[in-house]
Amino acid sequence: MRYKLGNKLSITYAIIAVVTVGMIAALFNLFVEKYFIEYVKANNETMIHTITHSIEHQYHNVDKWDKNKLRAISDDALKEGLILVIKDKEGRVIWDTSKNKGMSDELLLSYIENNMRRRYKNWNGKIEKKEVPLYYEGEELGSAVIKYYGPFYFTENEFDYINVRSRIIRLVMMVSISLSVLLGIIISRQISVPIEKAIRITKLISEGNYKTKIDIKSNAVEIDELVKAVNLLGEKLEKQNTMRKRIVSDIAHELRTPLAAIQSYLETLIEGVWEPTIDKLNNIYREVLRVNRLVGDLSKLTRYESETDNLNIQLLDLDEVISRIIMNFSSEIHKKDIRLKVDTNVKSIYADEDKISQVIVNILSNSIKYTDTGGEITITTYENNSKVFIKVKDNGIGIPPEDLPHVFERFYRVDKSRQRNTGGSGIGLTITKAIVEAHRGNIRIES
């Protein structure tokens, strides 16, 4: 059976509250009962001493046994669960509560037995007797035989106290459990409500409503992190969705231009408007190469982004790699009369040679393309804090500040017409960034 988190938390709090309060009440009763019984036993001894003192005191006042006063003392003692038998020094019975009442000892104390057996099912008390000598001015008057239930018993007043104490404990238990359940409901709602809202929002996000946000603030770190994570997920999905639409639009645009040119050339050739000369066929071929290059770059980007764990890391000579790449660009550098400076301070590194070469090629290619004739390019390598830095600097046309955050995005162009004229596909820097991050590095651009 499945339960909602809020209900489950509330039930759990209720169970914990019942068990905890129940255990506390049981332990409280256990210890209090133990000490209360000890108190009752001590109190009974005190009561016996008080009664014998009262008997001696009445004799002291009248120098004889006063039956009326003995009856009063006997009645008070009976209320405390004590039966008196008073004897003189010859052993003659002066007073016997049972005979005076015309009832047996058991019948006189039956209320105590009934109460004790109701409270203690296994109570096995029996009537015990204790004989205490009586004295007047140092002379023995006789003795008082006191009968009572042993090993202990409770009087009516003591049972009233126990019943009141039990009612108070039950009341405290009910209040504690109620407050615990109420607190559990409040806490469970503080936990479950944000989670339920997060569930609703994630469902909306899954349906494409990426702008939906959770507007709940919580003092719980985990709940607050969950809310932030869901909101961040929506933001990132919205950005990815926007980027995906733009990428599809850009790919369609990039493919449309060369395909339209190829279609136009072929239609004019088919209709006989143009003769299939070498120049016309070369134009078609260049557009096909352009489409093929775009598809190849996309395939290369996909491969680089998915091959993070498939790098062929090895020790390579960075100076040699850079020198080889510069040699390959020597013709373009010479044509534009660019001054190229190289300041290498790192001999070798661990990296994937092919992919790192692709990074340097892409960056140097862009620098050469957008550096004016007679310009200057500087390549610097250095090491800092166990990290290798490769820096390419030029004095070319630069990039506007508003375009800097987007230069590594697919098909992003600062000047679309210029990029198309220079033959770029718009994903060279995206490939570069993917390769650098695959090496657990980072790349940035300043202008």
For the chain, domain boundaries: 5-174, 208-307, 309-446
**Average pLDDT over all residues of the chain:** 82
DSSP code per residue over 87-122 = EETT--EEEEHHHHHTS-HHHHTHHHHHHHHHH-TT
Sign of CA dihedral 239, 240, 243, 249: negative
d(CA 359, CA 443): 10
Q: What token pair was written down for 203?
A: 């469902």
Fold category of 208-307 in CATH: Helix Hairpins (1.10.287)
Confidence check: pLDDT of 56 > 50: yes
DSSP 397: S
pLDDT in tens, 280-301: 788 888 888 878 877 877 777 6
Under 8 Å between Cβ of 173 and 179 = no
102-111, 175-184, 191-200, 345-354: which has the highest mean pLDDT? 345-354
Number of alpha carbons in the 13 Å side-chain half-sphere of residue 86: 26
For 73, residues 6+ apart whose C-beta sits below 8 A from its C-beta are 51, 54, 55, 58, 84
Confidence check: pLDDT of 35 > 80: yes
Confidence check: pLDDT of 63 > 70: no
Lowest-confidence segment of 10-19, 68-77, 108-117, 366-375 by average pLDDT: 10-19
pLDDT in tens, 330-388: 888 988 999 999 998 988 899 989 889 989 988 998 899 889 899 999 999 999 988 89
pLDDT given at position 15 = 82
C-alpha angle 186/192/196, rounded to 5°?
A: 140
Under 8 Å between Cβ of 293 and 422 = no
Give 96 or 211, the one with higher predicted confidence: 96
Give all strands (DSSP E) within 224-355, no chain letters.
Answer: 313-317, 339-344, 348-352
pLDDT given at position 145 = 92
Lowest-confidence segment of 36-50, 95-109, 300-314, 414-428 by average pLDDT: 414-428
pTM: 0.45
pLDDT given at position 174 = 85
pLDDT given at position 25 = 79
Confidence check: pLDDT of 309 > 70: no
Q: Which CATH code fits 309-446?
A: 3.30.565.10
Residue 118: which pLDDT band, with cuts at 50, 70 and 90?
confident
pLDDT in tens, 258-273: 788 888 888 888 888 7
b/e sequence 248-265, b meaning 16+ C-beta within 10 Å: eebbeebeeebeebbeeb
Going by C-alpha positions, the residue among 159, 177, 181 that lies closest to residue 169 is 177
What long-range pairs does 394-397 form, CB within 8 A, spacing at least 24? 394/367, 394/370, 395/371, 396/367, 396/370, 396/371, 396/372, 397/370, 397/371, 397/372
pLDDT in tens, 135-157: 887 888 889 999 988 888 888 88
Choices 3.30.390, 3.30.70, 3.30.450, 1.10.287: CATH for 5-174: 3.30.450
Which residue's structure tokens are 């003189």? 88
pLDDT given at position 389 = 93
